[in-house]
Each structure stands twice: as C-alpha cells, then as structure tokens.
A and B are shown apart, each in its own frame.
Chain A
Amino acid sequence: MLIELDSADEVAAVRAAVVAAALPSVVDVVPAARTVLVRCSPGTGVATVTSLLADLSVDAATPPAGRTVTVPVTYDGPDLALVASTAGVTVDDVVALHTGAEYTVAFCGFAPGFGYLTGLPDALQQPRLDSPRQSVPAGAVAVAGQFAGVYPRSTPGGWRLLGRTSVVLFDATRSSPALFEPGDRVRFEVAQ
C-alpha cells in the first residue's frame, strides 16, 4: 500500500503512527519523499492499516524526535568550488551554511544507510551533476536538490560533493546498523 502525502512532515507523522501501531501483518514501513509504503505479509489485507490511517489526524500528529547525530567533515570535496560559485558565495560561506543547519533524516533509500536529509539551506540546494561519477568514495558528503546526504559505500553518484567523513554510515554487524534512521536529527561540523 502506497500512501501519498503532501510534505515531509506528513510522511514523518504517518510513518511514526504506523510503526507505533506495531501491526503484526506489517513487514516494512518505508518513508520516502512524498509517500509512505506499507508492505504487509503476502495474503494479508491492508484493511487494518487503512482504518488506522482514517483515525489518524495528520495535521496534529508530531513525530517524536529521534537521535541527534553529529558528523565530522573534512571540507575538501571536488565540487566545493562549483557549489560556492553556483550559490554566489565563498567556499567558507558554503562550509558555514552547511554546518549551520540542523537536518532531519526524511527517509532512507538508494543503498543501505543512505539517508535523504532535509533542512539544507536554500543556497546549497543545487542540481545534480550533468554526468554522475562512476565512483564516489565511501563517506562522501553531498548535496542534490533539496537533500543533503552521505554516501555509505563507494557507488556511482551524481550528487555534488562538499567533503568527506570517516564515520561509518552502515555496519550490518552493529545493533543499530544504520547511523541515519528516519526521524533522526543530523548536524555537520568541521573535523578537527
């Protein structure tokens, strides 16, 4: 069942409500940009989920705050100058803007541990690269459109790269394998 919503806040509220209900037939609750996907066990209906949502007041619901994660970044990305010139500011301004914001993990996708972060300052909301890179290093700190993100693994990627971090975004052997989970708050800081 794919639930369509109008904003990231609504996505967060609906996701939190479905997860909190802990319905036994629900296997996955997957938030995304403007939707929440609810996957149920094969053969079970979605009637319970539908009735739960009918009773939920999305406007009034406030998603509970998750953890706050601080990510140290070395700001030496190959697209740092491009981002600065596109925004019409200096490189130091880009760093100040990026580290000055508080981000929220709206949803995860693309790869395990890849969180799409909202809260990116307007000046840093820029298009993807015309041609994606064949390989982006693991830990690359990046922006594209309205989102900020960190690449958990070396993969192809088209986002503009501001810098890099050494924190591990995803480790399947950790009890909380993903550093970024939907609802978490994130801040970036200059690595010492």
Chain B
Amino acid sequence: MRSVTVLRTGPQALVQDRGRPGYAHLGVPPSGALDLPALELANRLVGNPPDAAGIEALLGGVTLRADTPCLVAVTGAPTRLRLARCPVSSVDATAEAVDFATAIPLSAGDVLRMGTPSSGLRCYLAVSGGIAVRAELGSRSTDVLSGIGPDPLTAGDVLPLGPPPPRDTQAYRASGGDENRDKPAYRAHGLTLELPVLLGPRDGWFDDAAAQLAAAEWTVSPTGNRIGVWLTGTTLRRTADVTGTELPTEGVVAGAVQVPPAGEPVIFLSDHPTTGGYPVIAVVHHHALPLLAQTRPGTPLRLRPTPHTRQP
C-alpha cells in the first residue's frame, strides 16, 4: 500500500478535498478546502485530478514521512519547507530547503517538514495519488461542525495514497510559485482587507444597510474557524420594526454575513450550519472567500457592497 505517515502536525491538520455540496437539505455543510484554488494548484503540481484529497494545515507545521516514492507540493500560505533525505536519524537531521509551490520528489523514508507561515493562515499539501482515506457522502473532507469525515490528523497517522498519476507529469511540474506569490491573499498584518459583498437577502432588516456597511470597520477575531470568521468592531443596527423580533430559520450559504442581535457579524465559511435564524445582511462574493480564509486574526476588515447588484 502506498502511504505517507504523519510525524507531527501544527494546530490543526485536516484532510480536505472539494467537499460534499448537495446535501444541505439534510443539514450537511458543504465543507471542503477553505482555499480551494490553493489545493487545486497543489494537486496540479503533483499530477492529481482536481478532486484528489490533500491536507489543509492551519498555520503549517505538518511533518510527513514518505513510505513510498511520491511527489508532494505545498501551496497556500507561503512557508519554508525542509527535506531530510533517508536515512533520517531524527526529524531534525540535516535537511535541505526545498521550494514552496513546487513538485518535490520524495523517496521512501524521506521526511518533509513544513514551517509556520508568516502570512496567511492555511497551507495545503498534496501527494501524488491523493490521500485515499474512506469517503463519507462522496467526500474525504473533515467537517468540524458535524463531525462527518476523517478525524483531525495526529502524529502516527498512516495515510493511504491512491494509485500514482500517469507518468507524463512534466507539464504539471512547472513551478506554480509565481502564480501563488502574485495572489493578493497574504497581506502583511495590519493592512485592511476589503471584501466585495452582494446586499441581501435580509438587508431590509437594517437601517440603510449599504451605508452602514460602507462605514463599518472591523477586525478579524481570533475565535474564528472553518465554520465562520467572527468580526469585532462596528455593531450593525436593525430597523426599529424588527428590533427584538426573530427571523424564522432559513437556509444560508458560505459567505453569508450573519448579524446576531448584538450587531457584530459572523461570515460563514465552508463548515457553516445550513440554516440560521439571524438575518443575513449581505453575502461575500464566492471568489473572495479563499482570501478571507487566509486572513489572520487582528487584520482590519471592511465589506464593500457592490453597487446596483442585489442577491435575489
């Protein structure tokens, strides 16, 4: 059996693929890699199909040993990578630096160590053949809200790999470094992140929602996770006629900016609950969600209503 062994993880390492959309009517979140473009790039670099599962590493920190020859690539939040060639007397044995966002060939026994990114939040690691743990509801993603999917990774886990991709992977080995570094995701801490949003569906619950959003300033709270990003700062005011009332629970989507009565919003990410009773004032554009998922706590954040476009 082809496999890699997890020797060490950072704060959280999860198996993720493209998720399990289509079960929201049963209360199942869509899940999947929060920075899907990063996982897709890592998969391309190692020759995997786009639906192959990889590892989503919050703040990096994953150390893996290849049990069989394979290709790996790390994308997402930029981080140092060190490779110790077999025989490896210890995890910290003499190691060479290897490139981020590049396909790295590993021989059996080689150990790859991922550092901690200094910007961004989540690193993505793909291995040729994909992480082939058991799928649930068509996906290998770990859903931290419901518990569906594999357990979070821990030292000692042996991860089976699928069959190696076809050998003509030369086309995929071109370094994706430029593509990754050019992404505006990894702003230095302190620069304001501005996310485009579509107003609605419950913007009518708020006094002049567009104006409130345009003037509001928040910082990303440290309490967020795969379920959502909590914001601290401006409290959004409801109109007088709905203050103190409840909204009948209704379906919500990833990117929804949900506003509890106290007024500080939560922006839902991929493991969000499928229904909710707090009004959603706006929804973050789908393509901006990977950016949000890479935004560190403490970052100033604003929401920019896209003019003349309503979420129906």
A interface with B by C-beta (< 8 Å): 1-2, 15, 27-37, 39, 42, 46, 50, 107-114, 116, 153, 170, 172-173, 177-178, 181-182
- B69-77, B152-160, B189-197, B245-253 - the one binding chain A: B245-253
Do residues A37 and B249 form an inter-chain contact, with CB atoms below 8 A? no
Closest to A181 in B: B26
A182 partner residues in chain B, CB cutoff 8 A: 25
1/0 per residue B241-259: CB within 8 Å of A? Answer: 0000000111111000000
Do residues B250 and A33 form an inter-chain contact, with CB atoms below 8 A? yes
Complex Cα–Cα for A43 and B253 (A): 15
Q: If the complex has contacts A2-B312, A46-B312, are A112 and B253 also in contact, measured as CB distance less than 8 A?
A: no
Q: Is B163 an interface residue (CB 8 A)?
A: no
Do residues B147 and A153 form an inter-chain contact, with CB atoms below 8 A? yes
Given pairs A107-B275, A108-B26, 9 additional interface contacts (CB within 8 A): A31-B25, A36-B251, A37-B253, A110-B273, A111-B27, A153-B146, A170-B26, A177-B23, A182-B25
Complex Cα–Cα for A168 and B24 (A): 19
Q: Which of B28, B136, B249, B253 contacts A32 (CB 8 A)?
A: B249
Closest 5 pairs (CB-CB, A-B): A37-B251, A109-B275, A30-B251, A33-B248, A172-B136
Q: If the complex has contacts A28-B22, A113-B26, are A35 and B251 also in contact, measured as CB distance less than 8 A?
A: yes
Do residues A34 and B275 form an inter-chain contact, with CB atoms below 8 A? no
Q: Is B148 an interface residue (CB 8 A)?
A: yes
Do residues A178 and B250 form an inter-chain contact, with CB atoms below 8 A? no
Q: Is B105 an interface residue (CB 8 A)?
A: no
B249 partner residues in chain A, CB cutoff 8 A: 32-33, 109, 116
B252 partner residues in chain A, CB cutoff 8 A: 37
- Which B residues between 127 and 154 are near A, CB-CB below 8 angstroms? 136-137, 145-148
Do residues A32 and B251 form an inter-chain contact, with CB atoms below 8 A? yes
Complex Cα–Cα for A32 and B253 (A): 13
B21 partner residues in chain A, CB cutoff 8 A: 27-28, 39
Do residues B274 and A30 form an inter-chain contact, with CB atoms below 8 A? yes
Number of interface residues of B (CB under 8 A): 31
**How many Cβ-Cβ contacts under 8 Å join chain A to chain B?**
100
A46 partner residues in chain B, CB cutoff 8 A: 312
Complex Cα–Cα for A27 and B24 (A): 9
Complex Cα–Cα for A178 and B137 (A): 11
1/0 per residue B276-312: CB within 8 Å of A? Answer: 1000000000110000000000000000000000011
Do residues B286 and A172 form an inter-chain contact, with CB atoms below 8 A? no
Complex Cα–Cα for A112 and B147 (A): 10
Do residues B26 and A34 form an inter-chain contact, with CB atoms below 8 A? no
Closest to A3 in B: B312
Q: Which of B146, B201, B250, B276 contacts A112 (CB 8 A)?
A: B146
Do residues B148 and A172 form an inter-chain contact, with CB atoms below 8 A? yes
B27 partner residues in chain A, CB cutoff 8 A: 108-114, 170, 178
B251 partner residues in chain A, CB cutoff 8 A: 2, 28, 30-32, 35-37, 39, 109
Q: How far is the CB of B152 from chain A (nearest CB, A)?
A: 17
B274 partner residues in chain A, CB cutoff 8 A: 30, 108-109
A-B contact pairs, 8 of them (CB 8 A): A28-B24, A30-B251, A39-B24, A39-B253, A108-B25, A109-B274, A110-B27, A153-B147
Complex Cα–Cα for A1 and B283 (A): 11
Do residues A2 and B201 form an inter-chain contact, with CB atoms below 8 A? yes
Complex Cα–Cα for A116 and B250 (A): 12
A107 partner residues in chain B, CB cutoff 8 A: 25, 275
Complex Cα–Cα for A34 and B275 (A): 12
Complex Cα–Cα for A178 and B24 (A): 11
Most A C-beta atoms less than 10 A away, residue of B27, B30, B146, B250: B27
Complex Cα–Cα for A37 and B248 (A): 13
Complex Cα–Cα for A182 and B274 (A): 14
Q: How far is the CB of B247 from chain A (nearest CB, A)?
A: 9
Do residues A30 and B25 form an inter-chain contact, with CB atoms below 8 A? yes
Complex Cα–Cα for A32 and B250 (A): 5
A31 partner residues in chain B, CB cutoff 8 A: 25, 251
